[in-house]
Copies of this chain bind each other. A is one copy, B any other.
Amino acid sequence: MAVNAMLKTSAQTNDKWVYSFGKEICQGDATQKNLLGGKGANLAEMSKIGLPVPPGFILSTEVCTYFYQNKNAYPTEIEHQVDAGLKQVEKEIGASFGDVKKPLLLSVRSGARVSMPGMMDTILNIGLNDTTVKGLAASSNNERFAYDCYRRLIQMYSDVVLGVDHDLFEDILDTYKRRNGCRQDTDITAEGLKEISEQFKDLVKKETGKAFPQEPREQLWGAIGAVFKSWMTPRAVTYRKINAIPEEWGTAVCVQAVVFGNMGDDCGTGVAFTRNPSTGENMFYGEYLLNAQGEDVVAGIRTPLHLEDMQKTMPEVYKELNGIRLQLEKHYKDMQDIEFTIQNKKLYMLQTRTGKRTAAAALKIAVDMVNEKLITKEQAIKRINPQSLDQLLHPTIDAKAEKTVLAKGLPASPGAATGEISFDADDAEKLAKDGHKVILCRTETSPEDIHGMHAAEGILTSRGGMTSHAAVVARGMGKPCVSGAGDVMIDHKNKTMTVKGRTLKEGEKITIDGSTGEVLFGAVRMLQPALTGDFETLMQWADATRRLKVRANAETALDAETARKFGAEGIGLCRTEHMFFEPSRILHVRQMILAETQEERREALAKIEPHQRQDFVNLFKIMKGLPVTIRLLDPPLHEFLPQEEDEINSVAKSLSVSPDKVRQRIQRLHEANPMLGLRGSRLGIVYPEIYEMQVKAIFEAALAVKKETGETVTPEVMVPLIATKAEMDILKAMVDKVAAATGFKGYLTGTMIELPRAALAAGSIAETAEFFSFGTNDLTQTTFGISRDDAGSFLPAYQAQHILSADPFASIDTEGVGELVKIAAERGRKTRKELKLGICGEHGGDPASIKFFETTGLDYISCSPYRVPIARLAAAQASLKD
């Protein structure tokens, strides 16, 4: 005893290992999931509130812990406690375990804190043997039923506990059926099942060298041991690793009296949701089968009946069940997923748990439950998975539609779209102008494809990851995108693509599902998004709750309008380079880049300037006084360079030099690692005239809009890729000089923090910068030393080997990148108390990241327009205490 006590961990503070539940004694409740497992805790809870639950008892998770700390041994006290639990069950049921006349049968189930595939599920009918089976036959007056129960026990038990191959039992069954002309299991007679049971027992003896255990208690302990051992099967270990479930949690074992839904037509079994899990409608929603066992409903052998029918067939039972439904909702304050069994018109509850639901249903249920005063607004906000809102903002493929899957890529940008295949951005634009709906299909996309992406309904690429150019731009545009569909081989020259041997031509119709990554043949039926009143209601509650402001990343008028529609409170990132690709200016941009002298460069810039000014005028008008953060030119210049022969020729002509000269200059601009090259503020230092033009366009646009509309315009000029205070000093001075020259007042000058050095030197940079916006995309790239464009070659292996729990470009890496954000925020604010802090990387739309940003005290997050509602909700959740 003393030794046993010493071996116990601190968690095992008492000697209680077994917890009973039932009508008379109930030793647990729903709050004790850690101790009793999810299933057990809810069974105890239901018993406690008086629902008809077959009695049983639970061996707690502490037994599991003890079991593994003591070389698979049990605590000494446990046998006695199990006996006591069993006695209580016998008393309630009025039957005895192992009784030859009216035997009590037991089920043994595993039950961890969270539902966990890979562990043992259930062994039913424990307690049957050659003698008790006869008692069951007699007491049920149904010999066939009794022997069917027995052969099931032998089969399940031998497989799970004794390790006899499942298929060997199926072989015996099949042979019998073939020989006796039975088509289905139900065709087998009582005699047949008797014979099969004998054969099963012979098999067990042959395979294990021992007879099938006839002793009911031996069966029970064998099943209990099997549950505890299943906690450490390779499948379970792997599942825990993937889902970050600690091994120490352990599993509980739930032992419960078996009730039968298959003893006749006054029996049945069913599953139900307390509300419609698909729409959220407040109605009872479920199915049941008469004279059936639990698994038969799910297995789909017979077509189940709608729950409504029960009102006719068993009105009393239905009434009781519906009452339980209402009681459970009131009790759990959430929609429940329940299992029940009817044995001779008596209703038993076998399970209740929080029901899974669609995004639309989740919204409706949350809002309804607030109106029904079941939950508070805060609870409603917490209950919605922000990510799931995506389903509501985009068209989705009708789950009932027929579809032919051609290939599978990454679900890069949510929503579905149907269109004609186009392999070229220019073609796509032309087709779209002529009224065609187009899916742009490219090996990968580049900034030169932007106009084609804009024109297309959706984008498909055969290369690139979740954060490839195509994926990022598509998400920004709110367009569906499937990226990295490796089976799709695109032949851009011949304008065809081949998928697993099937060739598709330009103009053929396909459908892509950016939420699943599927590429489908032809047009597929879709459901259009409907932003219902519930959506609006919940968003208002979220807005009233959150501290973080939400802005959008937007350049075009369309983006800005979408952002406003979705509730953005400003623009957090206007990437001016996106404006440089428009056909009306790309030639001048190229002229500028390839200029040899500052004079030539200024000439080209002068031609771009009116366009830039107009861009900003449009944005300022739409944003009506809300802050607009404009990032000065950022990407490496060679992104804009001409590639095609005719582009080179036209640039050469405009510069009055030979095409060869242009080619030479292009060659000279080549960089080994453009991400780490001449870009961002470095452009502004080396070619100040570029930034001067941009800043002038911003301030002149602001003045023009102010004059026209009378409204304030609050531009925030953002210098990208600052590493040192000295860069910021030089460029801030330039901005102030241009502002003075134009006479504009009321702007801020700040920087993106997107380099580790900038984060570390934030204290000194904040002496000059008036705001920081964390560019967490680039900050992740440099902190990890991973280029998003190239990560596809190893990130899959990294995720498979659990090196990274999440893609660090999708969800912020709090250990590394996050620490830099924290450091920069603290040091920046130490220097300048009122420093405005925001984040404009992809992480601005990721709920887990938003939760982190809330803790760092940022002022706002900025994300693509289509993620604004997600960010609003996530920000509200982040501001609520756990």
User: Are A672 and B803 touching (Cβ within 8 A)?
Assistant: no
* Nearest CB of chain B from residue A485's CB, rounded to whole Å: 15
User: Are B678 and A820 touching (Cβ within 8 A)?
Assistant: no
Counting CB contacts under 8 A, is A746 at the interface?
A: no
A-B contact pairs, 19 of them (CB 8 A): A671-B790, A672-B787, A676-B676, A677-B790, A678-B793, A685-B803, A686-B794, A686-B797, A721-B785, A723-B785, A723-B786, A724-B803, A724-B804, A730-B803, A757-B784, A757-B817, A760-B783, A760-B816, A760-B820
In the assembled complex, which residues on chain B have CB atoms less than 8 Å from the CB atom of A279?
Answer: none
In the assembled complex, which residues on chain B have CB atoms less than 8 Å from the CB atom of A764?
Answer: 815
User: Are B816 and A678 touching (Cβ within 8 A)?
Assistant: no
Nearest B residue to A722, CB-CB: B785
> A residues near B, CB below 8 A?
671-678, 682, 685-686, 721, 723-724, 726-727, 730, 754-757, 760-761, 764, 778, 781-787, 789-791, 793-794, 797-798, 801-804, 813, 815-817, 819-820
Q: How far is the CA of A678 from the CA of B790 in the complex (A)?
A: 7
User: Are B672 and A672 touching (Cβ within 8 A)?
Assistant: no
Known: A674-B672, A685-B794, A761-B816. A778 touches B785 (CB 8 A): yes
In the assembled complex, which residues on chain B have CB atoms less than 8 Å from the CB atom of A678?
Answer: 790, 793-794
A686 contact from B721, B757, B793, B820, Cβ within 8 A: B793
Which 7 pairs between the two chains have the least Cβ-Cβ distance? A757-B816, A676-B787, A677-B790, A673-B787, A756-B756, A672-B789, A726-B803
* Nearest CB of chain B from residue A805's CB, rounded to whole Å: 9
User: Are A723 and B676 touching (Cβ within 8 A)?
Assistant: no
* Nearest CB of chain B from residue A84's CB, rounded to whole Å: 46
Among A784, A789, A790, max chain B CB count under 10 A is at: A790
User: Are A801 and B730 touching (Cβ within 8 A)?
Assistant: yes
Among A726, A791, A816, A817, max chain B CB count under 10 A is at: A816
Q: How far is the CA of A817 from the CA of B724 in the complex (A)?
A: 12
User: Are A685 and B797 touching (Cβ within 8 A)?
Assistant: yes
In the assembled complex, which residues on chain B have CB atoms less than 8 Å from the CB atom of A794?
Answer: 678, 682, 685-686
Q: How far is the CA of A793 from the CA of B755 in the complex (A)?
A: 19
In the assembled complex, which residues on chain B have CB atoms less than 8 Å from the CB atom of A798?
Answer: 682, 685
* Nearest CB of chain B from residue A289's CB, rounded to whole Å: 48
Known: A674-B673, A682-B794, A794-B682. A785 touches B816 (CB 8 A): no
Nearest B residue to A798, CB-CB: B685
In the assembled complex, which residues on chain B have CB atoms less than 8 Å from the CB atom of A724?
Answer: 803-804
User: Are A723 and B793 touching (Cβ within 8 A)?
Assistant: no
Among A761, A782, A801, A804, max chain B CB count under 10 A is at: A782
User: Are A757 and B673 touching (Cβ within 8 A)?
Assistant: no
User: Are B783 and A677 touching (Cβ within 8 A)?
Assistant: no
Q: How far is the CA of A569 from the CA of B703 in the complex (A)?
A: 68
Nearest B residue to A675, CB-CB: B673
User: Are B672 and A675 touching (Cβ within 8 A)?
Assistant: yes
Q: How far is the CA of A233 from the CA of B212 in the complex (A)?
A: 105
Nearest B residue to A723, CB-CB: B784
In the assembled complex, which residues on chain B have CB atoms less than 8 Å from the CB atom of A723?
Answer: 784-786, 816
User: Are B760 and A676 touching (Cβ within 8 A)?
Assistant: no
Q: How far is the CA of A801 from the CA of B685 in the complex (A)?
A: 9
* Nearest CB of chain B from residue A812's CB, rounded to whole Å: 12
Q: How far is the CA of A754 from the CA of B723 in the complex (A)?
A: 18
In the assembled complex, which residues on chain B have CB atoms less than 8 Å from the CB atom of A781?
Answer: 676
